[in-house]
Chains A and B, each alone.
Chain A
């Protein structure tokens, strides 16, 4: 009789133990909310590959800076010898800034653009999901609005935007310029008057209101110093030929 009583109390304790074990592991699992999965080996491989490329890029960056400073040394020497004046040197720098050949820095804003977060509304309407994601046309409009209030240099995810940079749909990604292909979130940086740049999105015809209404993420942050890289890409014209003044 006594033995049976002991067994029942053990049973109850075990049930509680089992229940809490499940709860414990369940809690852990819910933190790692995963959708589609891929093996951890792939990730390790990708990370290693990325690291190698980053080292290579760093090396090239250094070499590029070295070469560019060698050229500006020549220009400095020329300026000292009064072969070219200070004015000419300033002009070179201005024109190169415009041509996207120089990395620029200055005050401005940083915009983070992202799809709507998964929530109940989103999962109820799979058919109209297109309204809840960032499209190429949205980004084009954001950039255009920045330009209209005097942005002097713009970059999307570290890619300098030039006159001929296309921004087009690439399925789940957005293609920016000739080479860039990005998935959200998108970081749009612009150098210019931070107040004016930010205020442009308050105007009633701004795309900002449309995107916010659909619940997309659109965060604007004023930054006192933004660095925008130079334009990387070929600068050779195959079809266009320049015309000399007065031709």
Chain B
């Protein structure tokens, strides 16, 4: 917020004391603090006020590899603060869909807010009133269904000539792939309207797409056909009501990791109802894709996680997958709040990559690497199949939240191949883009953006997976800064 807008707000509040509600005064005071004492990473959670028309990005370094043509769609929260009240958690900002398009060596960027009932209500009221993951909301909220609270801000799925903005508590929101305009919420079958469809669909080797949606100790397991029509949806009981952001799958199993962060009470926001009970350990529920009533339950020591990697099953039935794991939910509760505050120390240790092994005899073990990492991504040619590599963000420390680099971890060799973009960068998730016609796991690029804090601009980087240590083979820069997003998908 610029000083002139801030003083206008405070002046207006002073002039019309009857109109300036306590919420407005508190919100203005919070904005005041942000303007005065922002951390150097605060640009990563800055508000965007309007859509960004397609612009050509400036090539800063290198060149686009021949054969890299397509679009990276990414989603993330881009509006947190309003005069009458603000979101207080990173996960609750209004979703803004980004499209980075690479064509004939040139890159363009455009971004458009998802036109949700939440955003319309809060624009009309000039206040964030909707309860969310960490934002409490208030009595002015207008919620007639879970999609009235849908921030449409977490991830993306390509669906024909649409891209679907994914959240976790409601339906996908369809946008036009060509201009990112909002088309409407997706109902996969009339009797399933509004069932939750989470942010990490898993793509199976046969082309089908699996996903999960949670309601306490029940989950709906979605299976979509390659054309995104519904194949089946079944509700399964869970042994506990964990908070679960992600899930994973082999070519023949659905895998739900039930951490000891459990819904203990009904409360808003979501975090207020969750209790951390590490003594419960973590349970891993494995369901047979062909018969979801066939299940195995494994036990591990308790850990906290948001994100899992694609899983694979070996011939003897051993299942493996990676996880970005940490010791507790401090980041989820407090860290993500500090990120929206824009200043202060982000509590919680950065997550580390670990490999989980589920053995045919029912034993499970978890081996931590030494590697700090989040936003794991893998080769889409090998989704649900044996693989060696996990690409991930890197460089987070307690002193500087948010990643500063990218890396590829090789589970076979145990080696990490990393590149630091630097502390002046907030590095976002990068997706694995296979080289056209190539089959080797390393024959691929990593494509992902960063927020250049020094230049105040969003950048797009391309790395060669086989040569991460060489740094980006191409970097473009936009003439705007978008806040850091969450998850994306490549459409080649």
Co-assembled chains A and B? no
Binding site for A on B (CB under 8 A): none
